Amino acid sequence: MYHHKCNMEIKILDDKKNKLLIEVKGADHTLCNAIKTELWNDKHVKISTYSIRHPQISVPQIIVETDGEESQKNALINAVQRLQKNNSKFKKEFVKEVR
């Protein structure tokens, strides 16, 4: 069985009142897109996007803006926790069906 070891480094580049810009070294389009999409499920999120300028040499950046009712850091943490929970459920179902 293949296990992917995750070596991510997260660096806050900009943390303003309602806007957060982070760099996520070690992330790819799949992870960034999942986080971006999950952030849109939060009613307080006004902007959720990411960019990877060059796939081989650029570090992905995620931008989150909220309406101020919830901090952008909390919105991001909650989105990642929901993804982790959903991924765990998916993994259990998948393994159960494949075995």
Per the listing, tokens 């931008």 go with 63
pLDDT at 5: 52
d(CA 4, CA 93): 19
Question: Between the CA atoms of 2, 37, 21 and 71, what dihedral angle is there, to the nearest 10 degrees?
Answer: -110
CB distance 55 to 30 below 8 Å = no
State pTM to two decimals: 0.81
Lookup: tokens for 57: 């040499």
Residue with tokens 């069906």: 97
pLDDT band at 89 (very low <50, low <70, confident <90, very high): confident
| CATH no. for 9-98 | 3.30.1360.10
Integer Cα distance of 64 and 46 in angstroms: 8
Tens-place pLDDT, residues 23-78: 999 888 899 999 999 999 999 999 999 998 876 778 999 999 999 999 999 999 99
CA distance 83 to 37: 10
- The 10 Å Cβ neighbour count of residue 64 is 26
